[in-house]
Amino acid sequence: MLPKFLRRRREKRPSLRRKIFLALGAIAAILLLSSVISIMEYRRMSSYVSELIASNIKSINLSQSLADLTQEYNHQMVSVVVQNDISLMPEFNQKMFRFQSDSLRRLLNSQASLPLVDSLDASFDAFMNTSLMFDAVFLADSVDTGEWFFGTLQPCYNTLRADIASLNEQIHEDLKENSEDFDAGFYRSIMPGFVSICAGLLLVILLLYFLMVDYVRPIYKVSEGIDNYRALGRRHGYTFDGDDQLANINSGVTELIEENIELKRRVKNLREDREKMLQTISERKVR
Protein backbone atom coordinates (compact mmCIF):
# COMPACT_ATOMS: atom_id res chain seq x y z
CA MET A 1 0.00 0.00 0.00
CA LEU A 2 1.21 3.48 -0.84
CA PRO A 3 1.21 6.22 1.81
CA LYS A 4 -1.74 8.60 1.74
CA PHE A 5 0.23 11.64 0.50
CA LEU A 6 1.63 9.59 -2.40
CA ARG A 7 -1.85 8.37 -3.33
CA ARG A 8 -3.20 11.93 -3.25
CA ARG A 9 -0.35 13.11 -5.39
CA ARG A 10 -0.88 10.31 -7.85
CA GLU A 11 -4.61 10.92 -8.12
CA LYS A 12 -4.15 14.65 -8.67
CA ARG A 13 -5.31 15.81 -12.10
CA PRO A 14 -2.68 17.22 -14.47
CA SER A 15 -2.73 21.00 -14.22
CA LEU A 16 -3.92 23.00 -17.21
CA ARG A 17 -1.54 25.75 -16.15
CA ARG A 18 1.34 23.27 -16.09
CA LYS A 19 0.58 22.00 -19.59
CA ILE A 20 0.56 25.50 -21.07
CA PHE A 21 3.63 26.46 -19.08
CA LEU A 22 5.55 23.41 -20.30
CA ALA A 23 4.54 24.04 -23.91
CA LEU A 24 5.60 27.68 -23.84
CA GLY A 25 8.71 26.78 -21.83
CA ALA A 26 9.76 24.28 -24.49
CA ILE A 27 9.46 26.97 -27.19
CA ALA A 28 11.38 29.48 -25.08
CA ALA A 29 14.11 26.91 -24.33
CA ILE A 30 14.58 26.09 -28.02
CA LEU A 31 14.77 29.75 -28.98
CA LEU A 32 17.15 30.56 -26.12
CA LEU A 33 19.43 27.61 -26.85
CA SER A 34 19.60 28.39 -30.55
CA SER A 35 20.29 32.06 -29.82
CA VAL A 36 23.16 31.14 -27.50
CA ILE A 37 24.58 28.77 -30.13
CA SER A 38 24.28 31.45 -32.83
CA ILE A 39 25.99 34.08 -30.66
CA MET A 40 28.82 31.74 -29.65
CA GLU A 41 29.35 30.56 -33.24
CA TYR A 42 29.31 34.11 -34.56
CA ARG A 43 31.77 35.33 -31.92
CA ARG A 44 34.13 32.42 -32.57
CA MET A 45 33.96 32.87 -36.31
CA SER A 46 34.18 36.66 -36.11
CA SER A 47 37.21 36.55 -33.81
CA TYR A 48 39.06 34.02 -35.97
CA VAL A 49 38.37 35.69 -39.32
CA SER A 50 38.97 39.17 -37.89
CA GLU A 51 42.43 38.09 -36.78
CA LEU A 52 43.13 36.73 -40.25
CA ILE A 53 41.93 39.92 -41.93
CA ALA A 54 43.94 42.09 -39.52
CA SER A 55 46.99 39.95 -40.25
CA ASN A 56 46.45 40.38 -44.00
CA ILE A 57 46.15 44.14 -43.63
CA LYS A 58 49.38 44.31 -41.60
CA SER A 59 51.06 42.13 -44.23
CA ILE A 60 49.93 44.50 -46.98
CA ASN A 61 51.33 47.46 -45.06
CA LEU A 62 54.66 45.69 -44.50
CA SER A 63 54.86 44.66 -48.16
CA GLN A 64 54.19 48.23 -49.20
CA SER A 65 56.85 49.44 -46.76
CA LEU A 66 59.42 47.05 -48.27
CA ALA A 67 58.52 48.32 -51.73
CA ASP A 68 58.92 51.94 -50.58
CA LEU A 69 62.32 51.24 -48.99
CA THR A 70 63.77 49.60 -52.09
CA GLN A 71 62.21 52.16 -54.43
CA GLU A 72 63.70 55.07 -52.48
CA TYR A 73 67.12 53.41 -52.45
CA ASN A 74 66.96 52.75 -56.19
CA HIS A 75 65.92 56.34 -56.96
CA GLN A 76 68.84 57.70 -54.94
CA MET A 77 71.27 55.49 -56.88
CA VAL A 78 69.74 56.73 -60.13
CA SER A 79 70.52 60.26 -58.93
CA VAL A 80 74.15 59.25 -58.39
CA VAL A 81 74.36 57.92 -61.96
CA VAL A 82 72.57 60.90 -63.50
CA GLN A 83 74.56 63.54 -61.58
CA ASN A 84 77.77 61.52 -61.63
CA ASP A 85 78.37 62.34 -57.97
CA ILE A 86 79.46 59.47 -55.70
CA SER A 87 78.87 61.63 -52.64
CA LEU A 88 75.13 61.19 -53.19
CA MET A 89 75.43 57.44 -52.70
CA PRO A 90 72.74 56.42 -50.16
CA GLU A 91 72.96 53.93 -47.31
CA PHE A 92 70.34 51.23 -47.27
CA ASN A 93 68.90 50.10 -43.89
CA GLN A 94 69.20 46.37 -44.33
CA LYS A 95 68.26 45.68 -40.69
CA MET A 96 64.92 47.41 -41.18
CA PHE A 97 64.29 45.44 -44.36
CA ARG A 98 65.18 42.15 -42.64
CA PHE A 99 63.04 42.99 -39.62
CA GLN A 100 60.00 43.81 -41.73
CA SER A 101 60.60 40.75 -43.90
CA ASP A 102 60.71 38.48 -40.82
CA SER A 103 57.58 40.16 -39.43
CA LEU A 104 55.87 39.59 -42.74
CA ARG A 105 56.84 35.91 -42.68
CA ARG A 106 55.34 35.52 -39.19
CA LEU A 107 52.09 37.23 -40.19
CA LEU A 108 51.48 35.20 -43.32
CA ASN A 109 49.33 32.14 -42.70
CA SER A 110 48.75 30.69 -46.18
CA GLN A 111 50.99 28.07 -47.71
CA ALA A 112 51.01 29.93 -51.02
CA SER A 113 52.56 33.06 -49.48
CA LEU A 114 55.60 31.54 -47.76
CA PRO A 115 57.45 30.53 -50.98
CA LEU A 116 56.95 34.08 -52.24
CA VAL A 117 58.65 35.43 -49.12
CA ASP A 118 61.58 33.11 -49.78
CA SER A 119 61.77 34.39 -53.35
CA LEU A 120 61.64 37.96 -52.04
CA ASP A 121 64.55 37.32 -49.67
CA ALA A 122 66.59 35.71 -52.47
CA SER A 123 65.94 38.59 -54.90
CA PHE A 124 66.75 41.12 -52.15
CA ASP A 125 70.08 39.40 -51.43
CA ALA A 126 70.88 39.45 -55.16
CA PHE A 127 69.97 43.13 -55.41
CA MET A 128 71.95 44.15 -52.33
CA ASN A 129 75.03 42.11 -53.27
CA THR A 130 74.98 43.71 -56.70
CA SER A 131 74.40 47.22 -55.32
CA LEU A 132 77.40 46.86 -53.00
CA MET A 133 79.57 46.73 -56.14
CA PHE A 134 78.37 50.18 -57.16
CA ASP A 135 81.29 52.09 -55.58
CA ALA A 136 83.90 49.95 -57.29
CA VAL A 137 82.13 50.22 -60.64
CA PHE A 138 81.72 53.97 -60.31
CA LEU A 139 85.43 54.50 -59.56
CA ALA A 140 86.62 52.10 -62.27
CA ASP A 141 87.62 53.79 -65.50
CA SER A 142 87.14 50.69 -67.63
CA VAL A 143 83.44 50.24 -66.80
CA ASP A 144 80.62 52.50 -67.92
CA THR A 145 78.60 53.25 -64.78
CA GLY A 146 75.32 53.93 -66.59
CA GLU A 147 75.57 50.81 -68.71
CA TRP A 148 76.38 48.69 -65.65
CA PHE A 149 73.56 50.25 -63.61
CA PHE A 150 70.83 49.75 -66.19
CA GLY A 151 72.21 46.50 -67.55
CA THR A 152 73.19 44.71 -64.32
CA LEU A 153 71.75 46.37 -61.22
CA GLN A 154 68.41 47.48 -62.61
CA PRO A 155 67.32 43.94 -63.67
CA CYS A 156 68.00 42.79 -60.09
CA TYR A 157 65.84 45.63 -58.82
CA ASN A 158 63.09 44.79 -61.31
CA THR A 159 63.15 41.17 -60.12
CA LEU A 160 62.90 42.36 -56.52
CA ARG A 161 59.96 44.63 -57.38
CA ALA A 162 58.24 41.80 -59.26
CA ASP A 163 58.62 39.49 -56.24
CA ILE A 164 57.20 42.19 -53.97
CA ALA A 165 54.29 42.70 -56.37
CA SER A 166 53.63 38.94 -56.52
CA LEU A 167 53.67 38.71 -52.73
CA ASN A 168 51.38 41.70 -52.44
CA GLU A 169 48.99 40.16 -54.96
CA GLN A 170 48.93 36.90 -53.01
CA ILE A 171 48.23 38.77 -49.76
CA HIS A 172 45.31 40.55 -51.41
CA GLU A 173 44.05 37.17 -52.62
CA ASP A 174 44.27 35.82 -49.07
CA LEU A 175 42.40 38.87 -47.83
CA LYS A 176 39.69 38.27 -50.42
CA GLU A 177 39.36 34.61 -49.40
CA ASN A 178 39.21 35.52 -45.72
CA SER A 179 36.52 38.10 -46.44
CA GLU A 180 34.52 35.47 -48.32
CA ASP A 181 35.03 33.06 -45.43
CA PHE A 182 33.74 35.76 -43.10
CA ASP A 183 30.58 36.13 -45.19
CA ALA A 184 30.10 32.38 -45.39
CA GLY A 185 30.76 32.02 -41.67
CA PHE A 186 28.26 34.74 -40.92
CA TYR A 187 25.54 32.87 -42.77
CA ARG A 188 26.57 29.65 -41.03
CA SER A 189 26.35 31.36 -37.67
CA ILE A 190 22.84 32.66 -38.28
CA MET A 191 21.56 29.29 -39.50
CA PRO A 192 20.89 27.98 -35.94
CA GLY A 193 18.87 31.12 -35.27
CA PHE A 194 16.94 30.70 -38.52
CA VAL A 195 16.27 27.03 -37.78
CA SER A 196 15.19 27.87 -34.23
CA ILE A 197 12.79 30.53 -35.51
CA CYS A 198 11.27 28.02 -37.93
CA ALA A 199 11.07 25.43 -35.15
CA GLY A 200 9.56 28.02 -32.81
CA LEU A 201 6.92 28.97 -35.39
CA LEU A 202 6.11 25.31 -35.94
CA LEU A 203 5.78 24.76 -32.19
CA VAL A 204 3.58 27.86 -31.90
CA ILE A 205 1.32 26.48 -34.65
CA LEU A 206 1.18 23.10 -32.92
CA LEU A 207 0.49 24.78 -29.58
CA LEU A 208 -2.26 26.85 -31.17
CA TYR A 209 -3.79 23.70 -32.67
CA PHE A 210 -3.49 21.96 -29.31
CA LEU A 211 -5.20 24.84 -27.50
CA MET A 212 -7.95 25.14 -30.12
CA VAL A 213 -8.74 21.42 -30.20
CA ASP A 214 -8.24 20.45 -26.57
CA TYR A 215 -9.33 23.62 -24.77
CA VAL A 216 -11.06 26.27 -26.87
CA ARG A 217 -13.36 23.83 -28.65
CA PRO A 218 -14.43 22.06 -25.40
CA ILE A 219 -15.13 25.43 -23.77
CA TYR A 220 -17.35 26.39 -26.70
CA LYS A 221 -19.14 23.02 -26.45
CA VAL A 222 -19.71 23.46 -22.71
CA SER A 223 -21.04 26.99 -23.30
CA GLU A 224 -23.29 25.71 -26.10
CA GLY A 225 -24.59 22.96 -23.82
CA ILE A 226 -25.45 25.49 -21.12
CA ASP A 227 -27.26 27.71 -23.66
CA ASN A 228 -29.24 24.71 -24.99
CA TYR A 229 -30.26 23.77 -21.47
CA ARG A 230 -31.35 27.31 -20.66
CA ALA A 231 -33.29 27.79 -23.91
CA LEU A 232 -34.60 24.32 -24.67
CA GLY A 233 -34.00 22.30 -21.54
CA ARG A 234 -31.79 19.82 -23.36
CA ARG A 235 -29.34 17.57 -21.63
CA HIS A 236 -25.61 18.24 -21.88
CA GLY A 237 -24.12 15.09 -23.35
CA TYR A 238 -20.78 16.39 -24.66
CA THR A 239 -17.75 14.35 -23.58
CA PHE A 240 -14.07 14.53 -24.50
CA ASP A 241 -10.88 12.77 -23.58
CA GLY A 242 -8.82 14.10 -20.72
CA ASP A 243 -8.78 14.32 -16.97
CA ASP A 244 -7.64 17.87 -16.37
CA GLN A 245 -9.52 20.84 -14.89
CA LEU A 246 -11.50 21.41 -18.09
CA ALA A 247 -12.76 17.82 -18.06
CA ASN A 248 -13.70 18.30 -14.42
CA ILE A 249 -15.68 21.44 -15.31
CA ASN A 250 -17.47 19.63 -18.13
CA SER A 251 -18.31 16.74 -15.82
CA GLY A 252 -19.58 19.15 -13.18
CA VAL A 253 -21.72 21.07 -15.70
CA THR A 254 -23.17 17.77 -16.95
CA GLU A 255 -24.05 16.67 -13.41
CA LEU A 256 -25.60 20.04 -12.56
CA ILE A 257 -27.74 20.01 -15.69
CA GLU A 258 -28.81 16.44 -15.03
CA GLU A 259 -29.69 17.34 -11.43
CA ASN A 260 -31.63 20.41 -12.56
CA ILE A 261 -33.53 18.38 -15.15
CA GLU A 262 -34.33 15.77 -12.55
CA LEU A 263 -35.32 18.45 -10.05
CA LYS A 264 -37.59 20.14 -12.58
CA ARG A 265 -39.16 16.79 -13.39
CA ARG A 266 -39.84 16.12 -9.75
CA VAL A 267 -41.22 19.62 -9.23
CA LYS A 268 -43.48 19.10 -12.25
CA ASN A 269 -44.70 15.75 -10.92
CA LEU A 270 -45.35 17.22 -7.49
CA ARG A 271 -47.25 20.08 -9.08
CA GLU A 272 -49.35 17.68 -11.15
CA ASP A 273 -50.03 15.49 -8.08
CA ARG A 274 -51.06 18.58 -6.12
CA GLU A 275 -53.37 19.72 -8.88
CA LYS A 276 -54.94 16.26 -9.03
CA MET A 277 -55.36 16.22 -5.26
CA LEU A 278 -56.98 19.66 -5.27
CA GLN A 279 -59.29 18.59 -8.09
CA THR A 280 -60.33 15.46 -6.18
CA ILE A 281 -61.05 17.47 -3.03
CA SER A 282 -63.11 19.97 -4.98
CA GLU A 283 -65.14 17.17 -6.58
CA ARG A 284 -65.86 15.62 -3.19
CA LYS A 285 -67.10 18.95 -1.88
CA VAL A 286 -69.42 19.29 -4.81
CA ARG A 287 -70.94 15.91 -4.07
Inter-residue contact 30 to 259 (CB < 8 Å)? no
What pLDDT score was predicted for residue 15? 64
Block means of pLDDT (10 residues each) for the chain, length 287 residues?
Answer: 46 63 78 76 74 81 85 85 79 81 79 83 87 82 80 89 88 81 70 75 80 81 84 78 76 84 84 79 70
What pLDDT score was predicted for residue 12? 55
What pLDDT score was predicted for residue 287? 60
What is the sign of the dihedral through the CA atoms of 80, 86, 90 and 94? positive
What pLDDT score was predicted for residue 125? 87
For residue 204, the surrounding DSSP H or E stretch is: helix 154-211
What pLDDT score was predicted for residue 205? 82
| Entry pTM | 0.54
What pLDDT score was predicted for residue 9? 46
Identity of the amino acid at 105 = R
What pLDDT score was predicted for residue 47? 76
